Amino acid sequence: MKTSWKVGRAALALCVMTCVVGCADGGIFGGSGGDDDIRVDTRPDTGDAPDAGNLPDAGEDAGLDDAGDVPDADDEPDADTDTEPDTDVEPELTCADILDTASTWTLPLVGQAQLQARAAFDGEGVWVTYVQRPGESGTPERVYAAKMGCDAELLVEPFEVSTSPEVRSLQPSLALSETTLFVVWSEDDLEGTVRARAFDLDGTPRQVESFEVTPVLSSGDAINTIWQPDVAVLDDNEAILAASALTSEGARLVLQRFDANGNRLLDGFFPYAVDTYGDQTEPSVAANESRLITMSFVGGGFDTPRVYHGQILAGETKATPAQAIVAHPTIDLNRGGRLSKAQNNGRHWLAFSGGVGFGNDIIVKDGSRMSAGSDYASSAVSNREALLGDVAASPTGGAVAWITRQSSGTALNVHARRFLANASGDFISQTGRLDLHTGDQARMPYGVSIDHVAGSVYVVLWGQGDAPNTQRVQGRFVNLN
């Protein structure tokens, strides 16, 4: 494999920018497959014994010749009676066998810098999508992907996902099904296009060229000036795109279904009105096996942002319930909502920051529970402000990763913490906070990314570097026990 935003409205764009596989199934091969050796007794009847219906004699039944001897090896294949397993065949190693939780790894650099990374674990390794900033002056940014193994060694070398070399490709997001990697991103062209591409889990592309998934309304009008795309998988090799689009009314959450073959499915639509929720930015989306889509966004306004979340069934154009709910009823200032792609007992966790200033919280709640007063888990770091976070689900709960900053705004630290939840989605306990890295880290707009690997092990990504032009994507498998 080859290794390798047009600002529609300045104030809104500033708001957006500042708020921001399993082991290979070898199967069981073998079996004899040979023809049975059918032998017919052609000897004449000597009359020495009564007719027994031409049954073979005892010697034949035992597989012996007339002399009672075992047939020669050339005449009869050897029967393998060894039932012991072959000692020279080594079992295939799993992720748990080779997991490296001690190393912090960095993706190979192709160009000048790496930005806006997202991670998803497929059972064999972690897929990473990111923006690669080329070193040549005037060359637009590209979307790249790579796959890191559990031993912190590359399984798939970095390769270019985007296929439009003349425009900037930005803000990638990804989602995984059992067979397919979906990647979406925005292009900084005149139309504000959103494009996508699908891959097998070994990195083989399903299409030579990327395809457009910019939502198209029932009127036939495409939606221009669109950014911050997110994606979640549905069944039947389908996916759902959520993005923020600049309309004459303001920024609105917009949804569009599509499939791995590059087809838009039904019409794109706006589930929520601007006059109720204000400008809707920083969207996130997840979906379950019943094709129930959960989405979140930051609404309200620039000075009083609130995180909202709601649900809708795939194929419908009216949210269920029609009203999105506020993620936290008492904390007015929320930012950076993110939903877990995977589930914990049917629920998607929602992570966001609550309040502003030193010691504010990074909050996790059940994003699938459409009622106020849900249980919350929160974390804070004294003398630091919690900013963007991400969350992952596991069978026993999940984990959250986030960044904090000092008053200078330059020292961005990376933290992670695991939490346990019962079958009802109520939080039981949290483990101690793990400080992964300190210094000039995890630059905007995406911050950090986290996904579940196995047990108490998660993978966390962040951006390392004191400026965008020198940032590198770093990651680590961490045991949050």
- pTM above the 0.95 mark? no
Bridge partners of 397, per DSSP, are 394, 420
Q: Which two tokens stand for residue 69?
A: 């001897």
Cα–Cα distance measured from residue 358 to residue 361, given in angstroms and rounded to the nearest whole number: 9
Strand order in the sheet with 325-326: 281-287, 292-299, 306-313, 325-326
Q: What angle do CA 84, 89, 95 make, to 5 degrees?
A: 120
Residue 273 backbone phi and psi in degrees, to 5: -85, 150
**How far is CA 25 from each of CA 120, 356, 365, 453, rounded to the nearest angstrom?**
20, 49, 37, 19
**Full set of structural domains in the chain with CATH:** 207-479 (2.120.10.10)
Cα–Cα distance measured from residue 413 to residue 386, given in angstroms and rounded to the nearest whole number: 10
DSSP three-state, residue 394: strand
Q: What is the chain's pLDDT, residue by residue, as a tens digit (481 residues)?
A: 444 333 343 343 333 333 333 333 333 223 333 433 333 344 444 444 444 444 444 444 444 444 445 455 455 555 555 556 555 667 788 898 999 999 999 999 988 899 999 999 999 999 999 999 987 777 899 999 999 999 999 999 999 999 998 899 999 999 999 999 999 999 988 788 999 999 999 999 999 999 999 999 888 776 778 899 999 999 999 999 999 999 988 999 999 999 999 999 988 999 999 999 999 999 999 999 999 999 999 998 888 899 999 999 998 877 777 789 999 988 878 888 999 999 998 899 999 999 888 889 999 999 998 877 668 899 999 888 888 789 999 999 999 999 888 766 566 889 999 999 988 888 999 999 999 987 655 555 567 999 999 999 999 999 888 777 888 999 999 999 9
Q: Which two tokens stand for residue 311?
A: 């649900």
